[in-house]
């Protein structure tokens, strides 16, 4: 029999999550410079703010478009409603990237990450851990974008999420950004090295060459 070409292995789905203020966005930007991956941009029905770019910050959609995707389209890996607006990670572009053999990266809130875990059990969940809760408080206060009450609510939620960190496969401490990015690179490589990524046809290729 003629040997068949090895199929492209499916890409891996990485879900990075953690508290507001922990530095997910910075880590994600640096990581994407170093490891080329498909980065999923969320859909939202909220209004576009000055400076935001459609297709970069979000895909801005009408509520009708969002609901059509949910009901008759490929749907969302996770979605939620905040203050009357809908937000979601559309399933189709992620699925297309994985099928092409590209890895995909989501950077989302913890509740959304748990939805993705339910919808895609093979997803690799990564929790970004602050060095301490007081450091997280400092970062949130430093942003100066939120009221003290809202900061306290975020910290209370962060406390619960940290205590439940065992729900995620990996925990990466964001003490120094470069270190956290190197840790993410290591775990991405390790996931690529899992024996489950070798189709039997590729093992047969090794012995027939």
Q: Which residues are annotated as a binding site for ATP?
A: 18-25
Burial of 137 (0-12, 13-18, 19+ CB in 10 A): middle
- 208 lies in the binding site for a copy of itself (CB under 8 A): yes
The smaller minimum CB distance to a copy of itself, of residues 22 and 106, is found at 22
CA–CA distance, 114 with 15 (Å, rounded to integer)? 10
Q: What is the DSSP string of 100-136?
A: TT--EEEE--HHHHHHHHHH-TT-EEEEEEPS-HHHH
Burial of 206 (0-12, 13-18, 19+ CB in 10 A): exposed
**Binding residue (CB under 8 A) for a copy of itself from 163, 174, 178, 201:** 163
- 187 lies in the binding site for a copy of itself (CB under 8 A): yes
- 207 lies in the binding site for a copy of itself (CB under 8 A): yes
CA–CA distance, 76 with 90 (Å, rounded to integer)? 4
**Binding residue (CB under 8 A) for a copy of itself from 127, 140, 151, 181:** 127
How many residues bind a copy of itself, per CB under 8 A? 39
Burial of 56 (0-12, 13-18, 19+ CB in 10 A): exposed
CA–CA distance, 105 with 20 (Å, rounded to integer)? 18
**Binding residue (CB under 8 A) for a copy of itself from 166, 174, 181, 201:** 166
**Binding residue (CB under 8 A) for a copy of itself from 62, 72, 147, 196:** 196
**Binding residue (CB under 8 A) for a copy of itself from 29, 131, 143, 152:** 131
Least separation in angstroms between CB 31 and a copy of itself? 14
- 190 lies in the binding site for a copy of itself (CB under 8 A): yes
- 178 lies in the binding site for a copy of itself (CB under 8 A): no
* Terminal-residue alpha carbon distance, the chain: 14
**Residues forming the site for a copy of itself (CB under 8 A):** 127, 129-134, 158-159, 162-163, 165-172, 183, 185-187, 189-191, 193-198, 200, 203-204, 206-209
């Amino acid at each position: 029999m003629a040997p068949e070409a090895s199929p492209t292995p499916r890409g891996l789905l990485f879900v990075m999550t953690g508290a507001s203020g922990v530095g997910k966005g910075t880590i994600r930007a640096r990581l994407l410079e170093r490891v080329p991956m498909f980065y999923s941009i969320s859909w939202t029905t909220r209004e576009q703010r000055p400076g935001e770019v459609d297709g970069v910050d979000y895909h801005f959609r009408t509520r009708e478009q969002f609901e059509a995707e949910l009901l008759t389209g490929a749907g969302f890996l996770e979605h939620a409603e905040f203050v009357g607006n809908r937000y979601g990670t559309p399933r189709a572009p992620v699925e297309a990237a994985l099928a092409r053999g590209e890895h995909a990266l989501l950077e989302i809130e913890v509740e959304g990450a748990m939805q993705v875990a339910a919808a895609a059990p093979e997803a690799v969940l990564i929790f970004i851990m602050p060095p301490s809760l007081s450091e997280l408080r400092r970062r949130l206060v430093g942003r100066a974008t939120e009221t003290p009450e809202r900061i306290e609510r975020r910290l209370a939620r962060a406390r619960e999420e940290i205590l439940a960190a065992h729900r995620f496969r990996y925990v990466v401490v964001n003490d120094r950004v470069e270190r956290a990015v190197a840790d993410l690179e290591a775990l991405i490589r390790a996931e690529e090295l899992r024996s489950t990524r070798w189709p039997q046809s590729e093992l047969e290729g090794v012995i027939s060459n």
